[in-house]
């Protein structure tokens, strides 16, 4: 791939995120550093890779719309000293973005093929502060709890209170099914808010 062309497309993507009112220095810098084309199948065009669309990469899994990822990260108000639990690593794109914003990322992936894909993608960037674990993350990862925030990438039919207990602040983001629709919810001990409505199954990969 033409490196100059890749940089142009990535710059356009970063500008679109900024134009959405998601301006946050750490988030923007991470999207500049982590290139989406390193986390999607090579048969997609650059136009598709750097569009604001979810991109299928394995079976029913997707690399999520970057705007959704940026909204999640902004909503959590992450700090450089934070430890974050991610349920569902997918291709590793969101995981890599997170690694440039917080101190530690613990990412759990149940799908063996997705786990291997994420592992290979993260190795491209020589990321040292991510622990990638192959297991069912439905019950979280109690051995490294508590976490400052939890990001869940599979939808629930009700608020996963047992999982949220592993967050020291009770702060978590997860998709939730409600009246035939799916919403991305920010939850904490004080209140919960809808970040956006989702039209796809796997929210953040």
Domains parsed from the chain with CATH numbers: 3-198 (3.40.50.150)
Tally Cβ neighbours within 10 Å of residue 80: 9
Q: Per-residue b/e over 140-174, b at no fewer than 16 CB within 10 Å?
A: bbeeeeebbbbbbbbbeeeebeebbebbebbbbbb
Q: How many residues does the chain have?
A: 205
The H or E element spanning position 183 is strand 181-187
Encode the chain (205 residues) as per-residue pLDDT tens digits.
677 888 899 999 999 988 877 668 899 999 999 999 999 988 889 999 999 888 988 777 889 899 999 989 988 999 999 999 999 999 999 999 999 999 999 999 999 999 999 999 999 999 999 999 999 998 899 999 999 999 998 877 777 888 889 999 888 998 888 777 778 888 887 655 444 444 333 333 4
What's the 3-state SS for 98-118? HHCCCCEEEEEECCHHHHHHH
- Residue 23 pLDDT: 67
- Residue 38 pLDDT: 94
pTM higher than 0.75: yes
- Residue 7 pLDDT: 86
**3-state SS, residue 58:** strand
Distance CA 110, CA 90 (A): 9
């Amino acid at each position: 791939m033409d490196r100059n062309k890749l940089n142009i497309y990535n710059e356009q993507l970063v500008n679109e995120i900024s134009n959405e009112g998601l301006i946050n220095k750490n988030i923007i810098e991470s999207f500049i550093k982590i290139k989406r084309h390193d986390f999607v199948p090579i048969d997609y065009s650059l136009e598709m890779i750097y569009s604001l669309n979810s991109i299928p990469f394995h079976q029913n899994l997707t690399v999520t719309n970057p705007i959704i990822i940026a909204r999640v990260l902004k909503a959590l108000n992450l700090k450089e000293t934070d430890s974050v639990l991610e349920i569902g690593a997918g291709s590793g794109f969101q995981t890599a973005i997170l690694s440039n914003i917080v101190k530690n990322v613990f990412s759990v992936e149940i799908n063996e093929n997705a786990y291997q894909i994420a592992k290979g993608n993260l190795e491209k960037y020589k990321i040292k502060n991510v622990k990638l674990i192959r297991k069912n993350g439905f019950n979280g990862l109690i051995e490294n709890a508590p976490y400052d925030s939890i990001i869940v990438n599979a939808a629930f039919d009700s608020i996963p209170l047992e999982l949220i207990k592993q967050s020291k602040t009770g702060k978590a983001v997860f998709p939730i099914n409600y009246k035939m629709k799916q919403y991305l919810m920010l939850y904490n001990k004080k209140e919960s808010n809808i970040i956006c409505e989702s039209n796809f199954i796997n929210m953040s990969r």
